[in-house]
Amino acid sequence: MLNKYARAFFTRVLTPFAAFLLRRGVSPDAVTLIGTAGVMAGALVFFPRGEFFWGTIVITLFVFSDLIDGNMARQAGISSRWGAFLDSTLDRVADGAIFGGFALWYAGKGDDNVLCAVAIFCLASGQVVSYTKARGEAIGLPVAVNGLIERAERLVISLVAAGLSGLHAFGVPGIDVLLPIALWIVAVGSAITLGQRVVTVRREAAEADAATREKHSGAEAT
């Protein structure tokens, strides 16, 4: 849902910066790789130590690369299947690092096995939600559904909550409860979104199969 509005807004804002990078000879693929490395560093260096505020700051600085690289490719007229594949693949890697960082914290000093399991579920369900759409499209279905919580929502909810929870280290009392709440919201929302996509693919597949059978029946009749 956020993709529809936020992506258009930030694309306009980041267009001058994308043009600047192109003038400096930076390639879209390089931006994709650097952005993913930055997100992974922020998540896996800071989050397992409970430094959620600084980890979120680092991740936020690099997460916009997901918008900049595509913008650069369009401006340069070099959009390609490879670029789209690389971008999508590394998005999954970055998401895994973020929720993996949460899981490592709760498995270690955070000392909460339930929240560790919830973080792992967020990681896994996010990957499966993306896979269902990709697999549905691969077999020729449109997968025409806007899920309750897609990638943009997962990132915004979890990172905003993590950043605010990190203020607990600066003396803000009680705010650290926001991250557990956010993880539960993302987990439940991801499960609902997965259900939405599975139901949609099942319906679209049934309609496509019925249309194919009808077409074959008509051909045989003639």
Write out the catalytic residue numbers.
91
Question: Residue 190: CB partners within 8 Å, gap ≥ 6?
Answer: 121, 122, 125, 126, 129, 149, 154
Task: At 121, list the tokens.
Answer: 């579920």
Cβ atoms of residues 74 and 31 within 8 Å = no
Question: Residue 12: CB partners within 8 Å, gap ≥ 6?
Answer: none
- What one-letter code names the amino acid at 161? A
Q: State the alpha helices, DSSP H only, in the chain.
A: 2-23, 28-41, 52-63, 65-76, 81-107, 113-138, 151-165, 178-221
Task: At 138, list the tokens.
Answer: 């691969």
Q: CA-to-CA distance for 174 and 8, rounded, in angstroms?
A: 35
